[in-house]
Structure 1
Amino acid sequence: MANKKKVVVTGFEPFGEHTVNASWVAVQELERLGLGEAVDLYVCEVPVEYQAVESLLPSLWKQHQPQLVVHVGVSGLATTVTLEQCGHNKGYKRLDNCNFCPASQCCTETGPDCINSVLDMDAICKKVNDSDVGVAVSVSKDAGRYLCDYTYYSSLYLGHGHAAFVHVPPLGKPYSSQDLGRALQAVVQEMLKLLELNNTEEEHTHNEHCNHKHQQQHAHS
């Protein structure tokens, strides 16, 4: 199929007490399940380092030119699969795996304080919770001001909002890697449906506008 959708999904390497990072385990499980024939899925593991993220993300967006990039991270506080609505630019004081944090404590000097995803996470959350995937999903507006939030903001900035971030709980608290992989698959498929819907609506609005102008000209002739 020539018009395959390209989706990039990332997880993080181990850090701190997360000696096995549930996010990367879940992403590998998603890769095994796939997103269906019409989607070309590329996965990668992201270092828990600000400077590595800064160099990796632009190349991911440029090389793959994806319709959507979904970053997955682990949160010790999460008990559900959590969809993050926005990324934040400032407040990065916590040291990464290399004991580094940005001197400016922000992602990009020129960006807004907060960028929202073009995706309506509440709508996606409802769809997945109404399905029989068997994993609880919730929505958050604070991705934590560490590498998760930093990565999310950077991707939203680079991809003009066509990015998403999903926090997963640590393995076994309460979900298995298979549960998390299945939940990610359901979440990303809903995200793609919503993007498709948004595109159709935009085209429809554009066409209506063109017809409207055409009719006006016609009326005056």
Structure 2
Amino acid sequence: MAAPRTSSSRPCVLLTGFDAFGGETMNPSWLSVQSLHGRRIQDHTVVAAQLPTVFDDSLVELKRLLLLHKPALVICVGQAGGRAAISLERVAININDARIADNASAQPIDTPVINGGPAAYFSSLPIKAMLLAIRHKGIPAEVSQTAGTFVCNHVFYGLMHMLAKQRGFKQTRGGFIHVPYLPDQGQPSLPLDSMVQGLRIAVMTALKTGKDIASGAGALD
């Protein structure tokens, strides 16, 4: 389910979340980005859209959204059960290795996201500055070195490949953020309002920050 295109002439920030999967009835990634749809942040209009938790189809929809909205900034968001903090992903790898089936019953094992693509792409978001800004508001956050090998990593890698190769997107920054469970889903968890606030801060920081800060990850923990 994609949000409608906004009529604003302001530049756009595209946020994506996923539909529920794995027997869950909700997905905090979608609920959190949906809460920001239509917001104005740093003179940019936020557009939220939902991606299917399906290999390949998720990238078809993401490409459609990129071409439709031509965003200045793209942050894809996914659920990471078992994590206790908002996770700012550093790197996407060119591998699908699904522990469970996706919502179309596909379960690729050891296949590339993009045939012939590079082994990995790094986020172009200022993840260290975003980390400090989110933590400054008392919201748990971390830099993560792995986005897994399920649909989240698939979308993260596909996004960065599109931004690198698609004409007109070389200046567009992008990356991926994982959010924990909601309290109703289990523990560890984070309340929805904390996720929404953390994502809003992440967007604001990414729009305000040119070059990321140089602090090492260890110094931030």
Q: Which residue of 1 aligns with 2:152?
A: 148
Alignment-derived partner of residue 135 in structure 1: 139
Partner-residue secondary structure (3-state), 2:111? coil
Provide the rounded CA distance (Å) in 1 between the counterparts of 2:47 and 2:24. 24
**1:29 and 1:178 in contact (8 A); partners too:** no
1:30 touches 1:182 (CA, 8 Å); kept in 2? no
Helix, strand or coil at the partner of 2:49: strand
Which amino acid is 1:189 matched to?
A: M
SS in 2 for 1:127: helix
Matching residue of 2:76: 71
- Aligned partners of 1:91 and 1:47: how far apart in 2? 16
The Cα of 1:103 is off from its aligned counterpart by 7.3
Paired residue type of 1:155: L
Shift of 1:167: 0.6
Give 1:51 deviation, angstroms.
2.6
Match of 1:83 in 2: 88
The offset of 1:54, in angstroms, is 2.7
Distance, in Å, in 2 between the alignment partners of 1:152 and 1:189 is 20
Tell me the TM-score normalised to structure 2 length: 0.80
SS at match of 1:156: helix
Answering whether residue 175 of structure 2 is matched by residue 171 of structure 1, we say no
Q: Is the 8 A contact 2:96 2:154 kept in 1?
A: no
Q: What displacement does 1:120 show?
A: 3.0
CA drift at 1:175 = 2.0
Secondary structure of the 2:189 match is: coil
Larger helix percent: 1
Q: Which runs of 4+ in 1 moved over 4 A?
A: none
Q: Kindly indicate whether residue 199 of structure 2 is the aligned counterpart of residue 184 of structure 1.
A: yes
1:24 aligns with 2:30: yes
Per the alignment, in what secondary structure is the counterpart of residue 50 of structure 1? Answer: coil
Of stretches 23-32 and 10-19 in structure 1, the one that deviates more from structure 2 is 23-32
CA distance in 2, matches of 1:9, 1:190: 15
Q: Does 1:47 align with 2:62?
A: no
Residue deviations 1:11-36, cap 9 Å, x none? 1100114321111111122227x243
Kept in 1: contact 2:11–2:43 (CA 8 A): yes
Cα deviation for residue 102 of structure 1 reads 4.5
Secondary structure at 1:23 match in 2:
helix
Residues 189 and 56 of structure 1: is their aligned pair in 2 closer, same or farther, counting only changes over 3 Å? same
Match for residue 213 of structure 1?
Answer: none
Matched-pair identity in % = 27
Tell me, in whole angstroms, the C-alpha distance in 2 between the residues paired with 1:96 and 1:103.
Answer: 12
Partner Cα separation in structure 2 for residue 78 and residue 103 of structure 1:
24
Please list the CA deviations of residues 100-151 of structure 1 after superposition, one character each: whole Å capped at 9, or x if unmatched. Answer: 1457711101211110112231232122212x2x311101120011010000
1:97 to 100, 103, 106: 103
**Deviation of residue 154 (structure 1)?**
0.3
Q: Which runs of 5+ in 1 are unaligned?
A: 199-221
Alignment length (residue pairs): 193
Q: 1:62 aligns with which of 63, 67, 91?
A: 67
Larger gyration radius, structure 1 or structure 2: 1
- Equivalence for 2:169: none
